[in-house]
């Protein structure tokens, strides 16, 4: 029997996703305001921005499993309430250290909240309606990514009630409260399956490995890369390899793993995980650097810096629309390669634009950053569906969950790497010099990504795979977290 409130479920799911997108992008323009208000250092700013993505990514797969066990309604309501409270507490944070801690908690709340959305939609929609649902997701989430920096800049510059940067967190509170009231009323009361286990050892491995990777990337530049930073990075990489092995052993021993271990035995998918990590660390890191360049390098206000992000955001939307509607289905992995080449072309153009002397104006660099956006959008629109072509239908849930988690963790790593390179460059030269240094890192990551794409599946996974609702999940996952 068709559930009568199913379209309202879509509305509250979109509200939750938009809250996540806003919190992932809206803080980018708050750097100078946080520095003035709380005395935030460059390292503190990196943790405010990247810490959220770190705990979100580390907890996503666990959050999905908790929804299976305790029920998606219960976990969605818990995650939404926790996210809303964390947003309000972030707004009230009196110190940068407490704000960082609350951002980590906010990411964990998001990890409990977001996986339930896709599950609830799959449970209540099927067939053509499900395809329509995921057709709505892409444009709305894309718009959320564009609006975040612009809205954040506008709120900070407006300085409502003298609250400054605090309003970028408060904007989530009314959205969260409204979604909570509606969700409590309309979400179906279906019990979870208490027979589903939660692999605590696997969860601990993911969290510890993520922290071991991100900590040295944040602290290394500041402390001249002592031995412990390299050992920590090695331990983090080994931890993720150990997680894959531990999942195999858990399944072989009759326990419930966090993810289906068979996905790690598929070469094209495993290479795809590395590709996702390279691409999103480059993408999110470059977006952060653009904002830092405008605000710290050239004294743009928060509002001006938000508007300065529009060329890359619009370019991403255009590239995504062309790729998603025309190229991805026809070209498969070739569209990823074309997108990476376009990004490299944009980086080269931006390099030359940054070399012009005289008084700074944003207009000379608009073509370069817009071209980077076009290439990024072309890749984003097809990346998940191409990589997921390497797995079977029954592995889609696990495979897409891991991809999304890697995307989020890689975003945090990108913030750490690119932020460190930029701040180090600013202390030894001009903002243009620092931006150029990050463009070298961008080019290296994109070249590595381009090389890996030749091992990806040739064609994207069909979006309409019969009436199997699980097979439609990648359509929603294709939208970036940040």
179 and 226 share one domain: no
Q: Mean of the pLDDT values across residues 26-49? A: 87
Same domain, yes or no: 127 and 155:
yes
pLDDT in tens, 471-480: 333 333 333 4
Q: Which residue has the tokens 């612009």?
A: 150
Most confident range (mean pLDDT) of 41-45, 255-259, 356-360, 432-436 is: 432-436
Mean pLDDT score, 12-41: 84
- Which pLDDT score is estimated for 255? 85
Within this chain, do residues 347 and 433 fall inside the same structural domain, yes or no?
yes
Q: Give residues with Cβ within 8 angstroms of 80, minimum separation 6.
A: 16, 113, 176, 179, 180, 183
User: Within this chain, do residues 37 and 105 fall inside the same structural domain, yes or no?
Assistant: yes
* pLDDT number for residue 230: 93
pLDDT at position 123 = 79
**Opening angle at CA 40, ends 38 and 42, nearest 5:** 170
Position with higher pLDDT, 441 vs 252: 441
Say if residue 224 is in the same domain as residue 163.
no
Residue 141 or 6, more confident: 6
Shared domain check, 173 and 204 = no
- The CATH code of the domain that includes 417 is 1.20.1250.20
Give the Cα separation of 198 and 200 in Å (integer): 6
How many domains would you assign to the chain?
A: 3
Co-location of 67 and 190 in the same domain: yes
pLDDT at 109: 95
Residue 34 has pLDDT above 50, yes or no: yes
pLDDT at 131 over 70: no
Cα 352 to Cα 364: distance, rounded to the nearest angstrom: 10
> What is the predicted pLDDT for the residue at 151?
82
Across 41-47, average pLDDT: 90
- What's the whole-number mean pLDDT along residues 261-278? 93
149-173 mean pLDDT: 86
Specify whether 233 is located in the same domain as 310: no
Q: Dump pLDDT digits (tens) for 236-253.
A: 999 999 998 999 998 888
CA 282, 208, 59, 382 dihedral sign is positive
Structure-token pair, residue 72 = 């998606």
What is the number of alpha carbons within 13 Å of residue 272 lying toward its C-beta? 29
Least confident interval from 70-84, 431-445, 462-476 = 462-476
Print the domain residue range for 239.
199-252
Confidence at residue 399, expressed as pLDDT on a 0 to 100 scale: 87
Query: Higher pLDDT residue, 2 or 12?
Result: 12
Would you say residue 181 has pLDDT above 50?
A: yes
Tokens of residue 115, six digits:
């996986």
Residue that the structure tokens 């979870």 belong to:
192
Where does the pLDDT of residue 135 fall: very low under 50, low under 70, confident under 90, or very high at 90 and above? low
Do 53 and 134 fall within a single domain? yes
* Confidence band, pLDDT 50/70/90 cuts, at residue 198: confident
Same domain, 392 and 247: no
Closest C-alpha among 50, 48, 63 to residue 16: 63
Highest mean pLDDT: which of 88-97, 163-172, 216-225? 88-97
- Please give the backbone phi and psi of residue 191, each rounded to the nearest 5 degrees, phi first: -70, 155
* Confidence check: pLDDT of 481 > 50: no
Q: What is the pLDDT of residue 463?
A: 55
Question: Of residues 146 and 123, which shows the higher confidence score?
Answer: 123
Tokens of 414: 């990108």
Residue 383 has pLDDT above 70, yes or no: yes
Q: Tell me the pTM.
A: 0.86
The pLDDT score that the predictor gives to residue 21 is 78
Determine the pLDDT at residue 362. 92
| Cα(197)–Cα(192) distance, integer angstroms | 11
Same domain flag for 381 and 423? yes
- 281 and 187 co-located in one domain: no
Question: Residue ranges of the alpha helices (H) in 94-163?
Answer: 96-124, 127-158
pLDDT tens sequence across 274-320:
999 999 999 999 989 999 999 999 999 888 888 888 898 889 888 98
- Among 166, 196, 226, the domain-final residue is 196
Rounded to whole angstroms, the Cα distance separating 77 from 187 reads: 9
* Average pLDDT estimate for 66-72: 88
Final residue of a structural domain among 210, 236, 252? 252
Q: What is the pLDDT of residue 112?
A: 92
Mean pLDDT of the chain: 86
């Amino acid at each position: 029997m068709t559930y009568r409130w199913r379209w309202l479920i879509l509305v509250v799911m979109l509200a939750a996703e938009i809250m996540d997108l806003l919190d992932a992008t809206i803080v980018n323009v708050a750097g100078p305001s946080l520095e003035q208000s709380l005395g935030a250092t460059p390292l503190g700013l990196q943790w405010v921005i990247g810490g959220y993505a770190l705990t979100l990514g580390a907890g996503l797969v666990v959050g999905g499993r908790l929804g299976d066990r305790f029920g998606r309604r219960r976990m969605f309501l818990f995650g939404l309430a926790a996210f809303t409270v964390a947003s309000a507490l972030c707004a009230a944070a009196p110190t940068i250290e407490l704000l960082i801690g609350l951002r980590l908690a906010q990411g964990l709340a998001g990890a409990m909240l977001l996986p339930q959305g896709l599950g609830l939609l799959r449970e209540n929609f099927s067939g053509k309606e499900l395809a329509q649902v995921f057709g709505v997701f892409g444009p709305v989430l894309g718009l959320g990514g564009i609006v975040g920096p612009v809205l954040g800049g506008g709120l900070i510059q407006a300085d409502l009630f003298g609250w400054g940067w605090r309003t970028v967190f408060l904007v989530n509170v009314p959205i969260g409260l409204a979604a909570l009231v509606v969700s409590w009323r309309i979400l179906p009361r279906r019990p979870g399956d208490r027979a589903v286990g939660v692999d605590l050892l696997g969860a601990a491995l993911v969290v510890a490995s993520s922290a071991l990777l991100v900590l040295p990337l944040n602290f290394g530049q500041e402390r001249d890369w002592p031995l412990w930073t390299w050992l920590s990075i090695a331990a983090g990489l080994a931890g993720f390899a150990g997680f894959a092995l531990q999942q195999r052993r858990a399944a072989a021993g009759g326990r419930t793993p966090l993810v289906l271990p068979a996905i790690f035995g598929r070469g094209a998918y495993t290479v795809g995980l590395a590709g996702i990590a390279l691409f999103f660390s480059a993408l999110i890191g470059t977006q952060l650097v653009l904002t830092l360049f405008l605000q710290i390098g050239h004294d743009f206000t928060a509002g001006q810096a938000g508007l300065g992000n529009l060329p890359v955001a619009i370019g991403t939307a255009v590239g995504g629309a062309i790729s998603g509607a025309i190229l991805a289905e026809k070209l498969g992995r070739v569209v990823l390669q074309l997108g990476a080449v376009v990004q490299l072309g944009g980086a080269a153009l931006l390099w030359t634009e940054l070399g012009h002397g005289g008084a700074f104006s944003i207009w000379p660099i608009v073509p370069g950053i817009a071209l980077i956006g076009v290439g990024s959008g072309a890749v984003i629109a097809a990346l998940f569906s191409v990589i997921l072509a390497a797995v079977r239908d029954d592995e889609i849930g696990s495979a897409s969950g891991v991809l999304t988690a890697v995307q989020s963790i890689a975003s945090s790593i990108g913030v750490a790497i690119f932020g460190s390179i930029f701040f180090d460059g600013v202390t030894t030269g001009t903002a243009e010099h620092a931006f150029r240094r990050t463009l070298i890192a961008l080019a290296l990551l994109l070249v590595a990504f381009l090389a890996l794409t030749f091992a990806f599946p040739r064609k994207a996974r069909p979006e309409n795979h019969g009436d199997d609702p699980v097979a439609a999940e990648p359509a929603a996952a294709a939208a970036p977290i940040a």
